[in-house]
Copies of this chain bind each other. A is one copy, B any other.
Amino acid sequence: MPLWTIYHPADAYSDSDKAELAEKITDIYGTVMPRFYVGIVFQPIDARNFYVAGKPADRFVRIVMEHIARSFPSIEISRRFIDRVNTLLKPYVEDRGFDWEFHIDETPFDYWSINGYFPPRADTEDEKRWRAENRPSPRTHD
């Protein structure tokens, strides 16, 4: 469900940085949904293809997050989530001297498909099983 696209300078992260960051991002969502819902795409971008304020950006990380499985029930909860994300990101951005920016879009739950299945609603039996088994399986209820 969440799909993160992370645009970053080509030399910003080692493979093990990426693996570690991906694990931590997945942990945030994994407390409330199947871990396999979490998709992350790292996109290394050359400074000549990446501009902020009209200048080539060689120390900037830009993240786009698409949320599908859950929508924020209130602004307060969205702020708490965003603060957690900033805490998680700190060692990968601020502590390395990078500027960073992210935004979240929410897209329709009903227009979503995994391995040919329509994913179950939050906290249903099917979602609990998907989460416990960490993989999609045939739906057993509407």
Contact = CB atoms under 8 A, between A and B. Distances in A.
Interface in A97-126: 99-108, 110-116, 118
Given A3-B64, A66-B103, A105-B107, A82 B118 contact: yes
Nearest to A44: B49
Interface in A25-58: 25-27, 30, 34-36, 38-45, 48-57
Contacts of A66: 64, 103, 105
Contacts of A23: 54
A51 B72 contact: no
A74 B79 CA distance: 29
Contact of A102 (B26, B45, B112): B112
Interface of A: 1, 3, 7, 15, 18-19, 22-23, 25-27, 30, 34-36, 38-45, 48-57, 60, 62, 64, 66, 68, 72, 75, 78-79, 82, 85-86, 90, 94, 99-108, 110-116, 118, 134
Given A86-B113, A103-B111, 16 more contacts: A3-B64, A19-B48, A19-B56, A22-B51, A22-B54, A35-B53, A35-B54, A38-B51, A39-B50, A40-B51, A79-B118, A82-B118, A86-B116, A90-B116, A100-B114, A103-B112
